[in-house]
Every structure is written in C-alpha cells, then in structure tokens.
C-alpha cells in the first residue's frame, strides 16, 4: 500500500504540472524509482523481514528530525512540481546525454543503498538506538560514517538529471543543509546511547564523502 501510494503521489506531482502524460522523463524516473523498490521489498520480505519492518517504520521520535522530514518533503514537492512545469513550458533544460548520466547515477545510488542494507542490520528510517545495537565499522562504514546518506545524496541529486530539470537540481541542493542537520542530531543521539560510537567517530573522520565531507 505504501508503494502504491508513492507511485500515485509522485505521478501526480510530475504529470499534473506537466499537463500531459507524454512527459517521457517522468516515466523513466517512475520506472527506475519504483521497480527496484518493489524488487528490493520482495527480497527483504523473503530474507530480512525484520529489516523491512524497520525500514517501513516512519514515526520519528526526535522533534528535530520531524522538522528535517518536513523540510525534505517540501523539497521533493517543489522539485517534482518544477520538473513538470519545466516540461510544460519548455524552460531551461540539460543536454540530451545528461539523462543517461542521471539514470546511471541513480541506479548506482540504489546499488550503494542495497549494500548498506546488507551491512547494517540496525538500519532504520528513524533516529534511535535499538536494543542490542552495536557500532558497525566495517565495509562502507569503515570509509564514511553515514553511507546510507551518501546513497540518498546520489539518488536525490541525480533525479533532476533524469527529469531534465535544471531548476529542480537547484531545489534539490537544499538536501545538503537538510541532511547535515539530520546527521548532527543523529550523532548526538548515538553518542549518548550507543557504546563505542564516540571512538568510532574518531577513527572514521568523514560523514558522507571520503576526504571531502
């Protein structure tokens, strides 16, 4: 039901402003967004149902994180609507080859996200310390502290490339301060409640991008 609701919502946000169902880039994004999501959900339901349950848990206990989620929602709303309007009114666009780069980056982001799901059994959509949780410091977590957010950064910034909407890319850049705020609060929670996390921060210096951020 959540997947179906997502399909309907994204479809409305893209095609209503576009004023047409002929928005090819919109259909491409819908395909690369929801088909892998459906397949991943089926695999997780079969092999890791507990992890799937955590990923579907969206009730955030941290007040600051609820503000982050609201800001993210507004960002997506604006970016998708502007993408549809860009198609309708023929506003500034990317070169044709940019779409292929966007698709490649988006799928790479999905693969990165899948690897994070495999490495971290405690991965949740909400900021919390779970019972029995330990610090994961191997694999991608030995390179950056938040590889999941690295994956989402790649996913979100590649969407406007797929949609051929430069103005939407400008809007999506708001994700940088949004995710920075989320990480700051999340690390405070983990330092308070997860033994060994402070030492892990000292060993792994970068949050999202190796040697950069």
Query: Which residue range(s) make up the domain with 100?
Result: 2-203
Joined tokens for residue 99: 């779409």
65 is a domain residue: yes
Q: What is the pLDDT of residues 117-132, one digit of tens each?
A: 888 877 766 667 777 7
- Mean pLDDT of the chain, nearest integer: 91
Q: Which two tokens stand for residue 90?
A: 């023929």
Extended beta strands in the chain, E state: none
Q: Tens digits of per-residue pLDDT, 16-36?
A: 999 999 999 999 999 999 999
If one counts the domains in the chain, the total is 1
Structure tokens at 133: 């949780």
* Residue 56 included in any domain: yes
Q: What is the pLDDT of residue 145?
A: 95
Distance CA 109, CA 7 (A): 19
> Residue 19 — left, alpha, or beta (φ > 0 → left; ψ -120 to 50 → alpha)?
left
Cα 109 from Cα 93, distance rounded (Å): 23
Q: Is residue 8 domain-resident?
A: yes
Classify residue 97: in a domain, yes or no.
yes
Q: Comparing 3-7, 29-33, 131-135, 150-154, which segment has the lowest mean pLDDT?
A: 131-135
CATH number, domain with residue 165? 1.20.120.1630
């Amino acid at each position: 039901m959540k997947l179906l609701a997502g399909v309907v919502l994204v479809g409305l946000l893209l095609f209503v402003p576009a004023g047409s169902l002929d928005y090819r880039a919109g259909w491409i994004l819908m395909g690369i967004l929801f088909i892998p999501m459906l397949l991943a959900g089926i695999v997780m339901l079969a092999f890791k149902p507990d992890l799937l349950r955590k990923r579907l848990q969206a009730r955030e206990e941290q007040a600051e994180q609820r503000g982050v989620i609201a800001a993210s929602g507004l960002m997506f709303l604006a970016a998708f609507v502007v993408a549809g309007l860009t198609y309708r009114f023929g506003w500034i666009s990317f070169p044709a080859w940019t779409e292929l780069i966007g698709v490649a980056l988006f799928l790479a982001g999905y693969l990165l996200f899948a690897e994070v799901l495999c490495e971290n059994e405690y991965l949740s959509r909400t900021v919390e310390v779970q019972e029995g949780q330990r610090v994961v410091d191997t694999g991608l977590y030995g390179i950056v502290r938040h590889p999941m957010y690295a994956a989402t950064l790649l996913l979100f910034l590649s969407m406007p490339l797929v949609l051929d909407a430069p103005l939407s890319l400008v809007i999506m850049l708001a994700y940088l301060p949004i995710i920075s705020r989320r990480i700051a609060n999340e690390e405070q929670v983990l330092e308070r409640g997860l033994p060994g996390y402070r030492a892990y921060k000292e060993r792994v210096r970068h949050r999202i991008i190796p040697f950069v951020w």
